[in-house]
């Protein structure tokens, strides 16, 4: 099971995650987030870093130029689009960088296959997070994963939203042929943007 830790704001913690064999680390470029990385990590500090993990830039309704500038400045491997980005933007970006398109799940009545249909040809991964009227992500709450179990999806996806150490057994028990990775954030933090590495390690070891 691949693991993504999102909301990183310190170079040291990126290095620690790499040492723990975490697969993806999320850097949030949305200024409305308490985990906004733009004024916390200098591009030069990580652009040419020799990490095994993939650096994921998280954006909310940013335009092509803004996203690609961050990809260039920070040496991002993947971009995650967490807003209402169009399939056209996803397709344009996917010519240069891997794309994760995030979708917010409201309830068990959500039709996942309808939600993702227009994006099937234009991105590399999906991510399913909990919908919130106040927050663009990092809600700390879970949606009902059963809604994914009955969907075809047919693309590797990340499972996100309020997942922590107490959910390891549930994460391992969840089954879907396209289930690719689990995404953790607020439940493994000391404060927004500062991870508790002991909890991250405990989570990672629990997945084995």
pLDDT tens digit sequence for 18-51 = 999 999 999 999 999 999 999 999 999 999 999 9
Query: What confidence tens digit (pLDDT) does each residue in 62-98 have?
Result: 999 999 999 999 999 999 999 999 999 999 999 999 9
φ and ψ of 184, to 5 deg: -120, 150
Tokens 């000391």 label which residue? 190
Domain ranges for the chain: 2-206
**DSSP H stretches of helix in the chain:** 11-19, 43-46, 64-74, 87-94, 112-116, 146-149, 168-173, 197-206
Residue 185 has pLDDT above 70, yes or no: yes
What CATH number belongs to 2-206?
3.20.20.70
Tell me, what's the pLDDT at 139? Answer: 58
pLDDT (0 to 100) of residue 97: 98
Q: What does the alpha-carbon distance between residue 44 and residue 41 come to, in Å, rounded to a whole number? A: 9
Q: How confident is the model at residue 132 (pLDDT cuts 50, 70, 90)?
A: confident
Q: Alpha-carbon torsion 195, 196, 198, 203, what sign?
A: negative
């Amino acid at each position: 099971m691949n693991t993504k830790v999102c909301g990183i704001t310190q170079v040291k913690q990126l290095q620690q995650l790499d040492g723990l064999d975490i697969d993806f680390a999320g850097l949030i470029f949305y200024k409305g987030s308490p985990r906004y990385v733009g004024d916390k990590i200098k591009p030069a500090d990580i652009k040419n870093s020799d990490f095994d993990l993939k650096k994921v830039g998280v954006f909310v309704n940013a335009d092509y130029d803004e996203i690609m500038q961050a990809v260039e400045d920070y040496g991002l491997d993947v971009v995650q689009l967490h807003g209402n980005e169009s399939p056209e933007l996803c397709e344009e970006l996917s010519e240069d960088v891997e794309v994760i398109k995030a979708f917010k799940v409201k309830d068990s009545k959500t039709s996942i296959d309808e939600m993702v249909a227009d994006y099937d040809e234009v991105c590399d991964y999906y991510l399913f997070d909990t919908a919130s009227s106040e927050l663009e992500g990092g809600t700390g709450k879970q949606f009902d994963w059963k809604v994914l179990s009955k969907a075809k999806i047919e693309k590797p996806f990340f499972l996100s939203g309020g997942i922590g150490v107490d959910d390891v057994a549930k994460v391992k028990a969840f089954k879907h042929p396209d289930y690719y990775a689990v995404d953790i954030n607020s439940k493994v933090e000391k404060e927004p943007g500062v991870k508790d590495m002991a909890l991250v390690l405990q989570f990672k070891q629990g997945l084995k």
